[in-house]
Amino acid sequence: MYLYKRFLSKDINLLNFNPAKQHRRLPVVYSREEIKAILAHLQGVHHLQVALMYGSGLRSAELLSLRVKDIDFGSNNIFVRGGKGNKDRTTMLPQGLISSLKHQIGRVALLHQQDLLDGYGRVYLPDALERKYPRAASELGWQYFFPAHAIGRCPRSGVLRRHHMHPTTLTRQIRTAVRKADINKPARAHAFRHSFATHLLEAGYDLRTIQELLGHADISTTEIYTHVVNRGGKGVLSPMDQMQPPHGIAETVAIYGVAA
């Protein structure tokens, strides 16, 4: 559409074509037991990252873009700045992670202090904030919550500074943990966000609340999780489950023809 309007000066409405149909696929969702198994194979900051994605419904890009000031212990909120569609929103702060989150802030503070001593410590600021608030870039509140291990050159300005952790580092840790947990599902960071929404729906929370926590513009996007909630065939009880379950070895042998 942009090509036709901007360069060819043609109205897209005058073109006779049918857009390709987009197929909606069911999301990958981990059960609560699988979440526990994955977390058991993660340590340190990567354990906290996965727990935060599952506990708050964050996308991996939103997680890595968090700044220290975005964690608000007073209101129990996490502020997501410039999420998908460049929209801001708030989501819940898991109470069970407060101690780990405060410990991470302490680690960031020590690292930032050392960066300042080494002549660095000025983080990248979005838009025109660096011109508007010239001192903000060196303040602790603006530092990335999950900083990279090393100083790197900024691709925008060429300035040497500490960016946030690279997404491939998190992806690699998740892949390894899912494999060690012996889970036969795709290892995806986004699956923890899907699991967050699905488990909230199973717990009885309404779609509108979940939509706001996820930051979906259209509730039809959130409705996809109604197809994967743990209710078996849309809540219908299978006729097999209405039968009296067999008890004892004799019944097992009679059904399967083998010893239990």
Question: What's the pLDDT tens digit per position in 16-72?
Answer: 667 677 777 889 999 999 999 999 999 999 999 999 999 999 999 999 999 999 999
The catalytic position among 41, 46, 59, 164 is 59
Examine the residue annotation and report whether 193 is marked as an active-site residue of this protein: yes
Total residues found in the chain within this entry: 260
pTM of the model: 0.81
Q: Which residues contact 234 (CB under 8 A, 6 or more apart)?
A: none
Q: Which residue has the higher pLDDT, 46 or 257?
A: 46
Which residue among 47, 69, 84, 89 is the active-site one? 84
153 is catalytic: no
In the predicted structure, residue 98 carries a pLDDT above the cut 70: yes
pLDDT single digits (tens) 111-138: 999 999 999 999 998 877 878 888 999 9
Does residue 216 carry a catalytic annotation? yes
Let me know if 124 is a catalytic residue.
Answer: no
Given the candidates 2.30.29, 1.10.1060, 1.10.443, 1.10.3430, the CATH classification of the domain at 32-183 is 1.10.443
Q: What is the mean pLDDT of residues 238-254?
A: 57
Give the active site residue among 107, 161, 175, 190: 190
Buried b (16+ CB within 10 A) or exposed e, 179-218: eebebeeebbbebbbbbbbbbbbeeeeebeebbebbbbee
Distance CA 51, CA 15 (A): 48
CA distances in angstroms from 36 to 32, 48, 120, listed in the order given: 6, 13, 39
- Give CA–CA dist 187/35, Å, rounded: 12
Instruction: Catalytic residue, from 67, 112, 162, 193: name it.
Output: 193
Active site residue 208: no
